[in-house]
């Protein structure tokens, strides 16, 4: 009891001392931006600005208090800058305000530039005036600098703050390059970008993984892929691509599945799956080259060398891989799917890079995938998966372009063909031979930026347990 009273008394004395040393208007207050504007980003602070006055804006990413000297690191979108406040150099008011700043506070600092070898960029700011826009109310459960912080769920609960971390900044800068490079490559190859409906009437990739929604008085679904629309669009535009969301009601909790993901979907007329594998590997090469060119610092931040690749990628047929696996002791039969666990047992060193698995059993592929046409070979399809180690990055195929064949395949898979009337009817008007693929953007990011959990390759992941933030 006595101890409790002592502690309470010392807290009261401390706060009395603090309130005495801080006059009322010394207390750090939140202010409006008013007429203040940033004059320089952190990355723009260099020797040409020595002794000049600047205004920087950003967030406090760390603070060190040595009594008479305070070091504050301010982060903006391009990096960090050090602000140093010495009691002997600052007004009493400013030093007092600087003392009260907490990590994550958003603020502006007006100050002069001075060289400092130990500071980021070799310069630091001597503050003259401070404006706090939004004072951090709490200490965040993780630091901006941490590379391997606490559990992913705690981070995801405060995702916008988590995204200030250097590692994630780098991942999403790389992702932006991947998106731009994909658009650039496909546009140059004569593809046009399209946007297809995301509220749809029928499943495309098998019924199990659908999200049903209310569509006025009818049932509808969130699109599992733009598959049928991109195929139809080859009738009008020949070469199309779409970068958009796909929705999969995945019941499993894995590090490689999301309920909402972004796919890079491509469809091309008058070609088959061999041409499309060639296009896909050139797309991957262009994306990797762009990342190496534009994101050197980000890759260094992630401590990762992007894979060096050579074209063409190795191709292994499903049947050959199966044989290898069986020889290695796997109990697996022709027609079984190749799970990531099974794939990890492949003896081949080459499996550590990109490679194709081709010619899958027709029974394992969706109804639109074209079986081989040589007599007796229909149980094998003109299809492929692009793999990176044991991770599937993309799948694609030649598609069926004749209505009667498509109807037959749908019936074999037990689909209600009437529900697909809207799709089947266009096949009466000259559907060209065509082929295409879909790349999972987040899966590709896992390969390019060595991300272990797919949730870190997307800003706000959706999975069976998470619908917020």
Part in contact with ligand AMO (CB under 6 A); list of ranges 55-63, 112-120, 323-331, 435-443: 435-443
Q: Is 234 in the site for ligand AMO (CB under 6 A)?
A: no
- Please give the distance of CA 122 from its chain centroid, rounded to a whole number: 32
Q: How many contiguous H segments (helices) and E segments (strands) does the chain have?
A: 13, 16
Q: Is 258 in the site for ligand AMO (CB under 6 A)?
A: yes
Q: Is 227 in the site for ligand AMO (CB under 6 A)?
A: yes
Structure tokens at 447: 């390969």
> Which residues does residue 79 pair with via DSSP β-bridges, in sequence order?
76
Q: Return the number of the residue (59 or 437) whose C-beta is nearest ligand AMO.
A: 437
Part in contact with ligand AMO (CB under 6 A); list of ranges 80-88, 158-166, 259-267, 426-434: 259-267
- Residue from the set 79, 96, 371, 436 that interacts with ligand AMO by CB under 6 A: 436
Q: How many CB atoms lie within 10 A of CB 292?
A: 15
Give min distance, CB of 263 to ligand AMO, in A: 5
Number of residues that bind ligand AMO (CB under 6 A): 22
Q: Return the number of the residue (65 or 337) whose C-beta is nearest ligand AMO.
A: 337
Part in contact with ligand AMO (CB under 6 A); list of ranges 39-47, 127-135, 255-263, 419-427: 255-263
CB 106 within 8 A of CB 59: yes
d(CA 451, CA 333): 32
DSSP labels, 254-302: -SS--SEEEEEEEEEES--HHHHHHHHHHHHHHHHHHHHHH-HHHHHHT
Q: Is 40 in the site for ligand AMO (CB under 6 A)?
A: no
Residue 347, classified by CB atoms within 10 Å of its CB into exposed (0-12), middle (13-18) or buried (19+), is exposed
Give min distance, CB of 336 to ligand AMO, in A: 17
Part in contact with ligand AMO (CB under 6 A); list of ranges 85-93, 95-103, 294-302, 389-397: 389-397
Q: How many CB atoms lie within 10 A of CB 434?
A: 25
Intra-chain end-to-end CA distance of the chain, in Å: 44
Give min distance, CB of 325 to ligand AMO, in A: 20
Q: How many CB atoms lie within 10 A of CB 379?
A: 12
d(CA 357, CA 384): 5
Q: Is 382 in the site for ligand AMO (CB under 6 A)?
A: no
Q: What are the start-end ranges of the H helices in 295-426?
A: 296-301, 318-327, 340-343, 403-412, 421-424
Q: Return the number of the residue (166 or 395) whose C-beta is nearest ligand AMO.
A: 395
Structure tokens at 211: 């999200």
Q: Is 239 in the site for ligand AMO (CB under 6 A)?
A: no
d(CA 332, CA 348): 18
Q: Is the Cα dihedral 158, 160, 165, 168 positive or negative?
A: positive
Q: Is 443 in the site for ligand AMO (CB under 6 A)?
A: yes
d(CA 408, CA 229): 20
Give min distance, CB of 168 to ligand AMO, in A: 18
d(CA 199, CA 185): 28
Helix (H, G, I), strand (E, B) or coil at 52: coil
d(CA 27, CA 19): 9
Q: Return the number of the residue (130 or 210) whose C-beta is nearest ligand AMO.
A: 210
Part in contact with ligand AMO (CB under 6 A); list of ranges 103-111, 117-125, 278-286, 439-447: 439-447
Part in contact with ligand AMO (CB under 6 A); list of ranges 9-17, 49-57, 331-339, 432-440: 432-440
Site map for ligand AMO, 179-218, x if CB under 6 A?
--------------------------x-------------
Give min distance, CB of 260 to ligand AMO, in A: 8
d(CA 4, CA 440): 59
Structure tokens at 363: 């029974």
d(CA 409, CA 467): 36
Q: Is 263 in the site for ligand AMO (CB under 6 A)?
A: yes
Q: Is 268 in the site for ligand AMO (CB under 6 A)?
A: no
Q: Is 261 in the site for ligand AMO (CB under 6 A)?
A: yes
Part in contact with ligand AMO (CB under 6 A); list of ranges 123-131, 235-243, 318-326, 391-399: 391-399
d(CA 139, CA 143): 9
Give min distance, CB of 447 to ligand AMO, in A: 10
Q: Return the number of the residue (168 or 364) whose C-beta is nearest ligand AMO.
A: 364
Q: Is 461 in the site for ligand AMO (CB under 6 A)?
A: no
- Residue from the set 82, 166, 196, 395 that interacts with ligand AMO by CB under 6 A: 395
Part in contact with ligand AMO (CB under 6 A); list of ranges 145-153, 212-220, 329-337, 434-442: 434-442
> Which residues does residue 436 pair with via DSSP β-bridges, in sequence order?
267, 397
Q: Is 129 in the site for ligand AMO (CB under 6 A)?
A: no
Q: Which residues from 310-329 bind ligand AMO, rule CB under 6 A?
A: none
Q: Is 394 in the site for ligand AMO (CB under 6 A)?
A: yes
d(CA 95, CA 72): 12
Which spans of this chain sit near ligand AMO (rule: CB under 6 A)?
Answer: 205, 225, 227, 248, 250, 257-258, 261, 263, 265, 392-397, 436-438, 440, 442-443
């Amino acid at each position: 009891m006595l101890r409790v009273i002592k502690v309470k008394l010392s807290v009261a004395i401390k706060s009395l001392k603090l309130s005495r040393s801080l006059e009322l208007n010394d207390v750090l207050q939140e202010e409006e931006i008013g007429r203040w504007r940033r004059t320089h980003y952190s990355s723009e602070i260099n020797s040409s600005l020595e002794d000049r006055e600047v205004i920087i804006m950003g967030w406090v990413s760390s603070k060190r208090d040595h009594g008479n000297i305070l070091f504050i690191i301010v982060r903006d979108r391009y990096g960090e800058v050090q602000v140093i406040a010495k009691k002997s150099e600052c007004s009493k008011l400013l030093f007092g305000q600087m003392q009260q700043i907490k990590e994550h506070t958003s603020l502006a600092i007006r100050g002069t530039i001075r060289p400092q070898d130990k500071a980021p960029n070799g310069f630091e700011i001597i503050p003259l005036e401070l404006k706090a826009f939004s004072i951090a109310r709490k200490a965040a459960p993780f630091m901006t600098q941490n590379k391997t912080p606490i559990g992913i769920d705690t981070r995801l609960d405060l995702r916008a703050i988590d995204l200030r971390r250097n590692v994630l900044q780098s991942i999403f800068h790389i992702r932006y390059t991947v998106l731009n490079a994909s658009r650039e490559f496909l546009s140059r190859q004569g593809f046009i970008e399209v946007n297809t409906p995301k509220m749809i009437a029928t499943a495309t990739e098998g019924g199990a993984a659908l999200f049903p929604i209310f569509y006025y008085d009818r049932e509808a679904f969130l699109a599992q892929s733009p598959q049928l629309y991109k195929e139809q669009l080859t009738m009008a535009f020949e070469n199309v691509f779409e970068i958009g969301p796909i929705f999969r009601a995945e019941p499993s909790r894995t590090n490689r599945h999301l309920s909402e993901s972004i796919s890079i979907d491509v469809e091309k007329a008058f070609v088959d799956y061999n041409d499309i594998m060639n296009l896909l590997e050139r797309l991957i090469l262009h994306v990797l080259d762009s990342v190496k060119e534009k994101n050197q610092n980000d890759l260094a931040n992630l401590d990762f060398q992007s894979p060096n690749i050579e074209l063409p990628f190795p191709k292994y047929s499903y049947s050959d891989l199966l044989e290898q696996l069986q020889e290695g002791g796997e109990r697996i039969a022709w027609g079984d799917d190749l799970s990531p666990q099974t794939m990890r047992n492949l003896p081949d060193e080459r499996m550590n890079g990109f490679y194709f698995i081709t010619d899958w059993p027709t029974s394992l592929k969706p109804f639109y995938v074209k079986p081989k046409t040589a007599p007796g070979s229909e149980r094998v399809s003109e299809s492929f998966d692009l793999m990176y180690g044991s991770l599937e990055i993309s799948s694609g195929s030649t598609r069926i372009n004749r209505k009667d064949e498509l109807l037959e395949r749908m019936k074999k898979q037990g689909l209600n063909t009437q529900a697909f009337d809207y799709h089947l009817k266009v096949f009466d008007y000259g559907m060209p031979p065509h082929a295409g693929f879909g790349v999972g953007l987040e899966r590709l990011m896992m390969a390019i930026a060595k991300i272990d959990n797919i949730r870190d390759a997307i800003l706000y992941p959706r999975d069976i347990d998470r619908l917020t933030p």
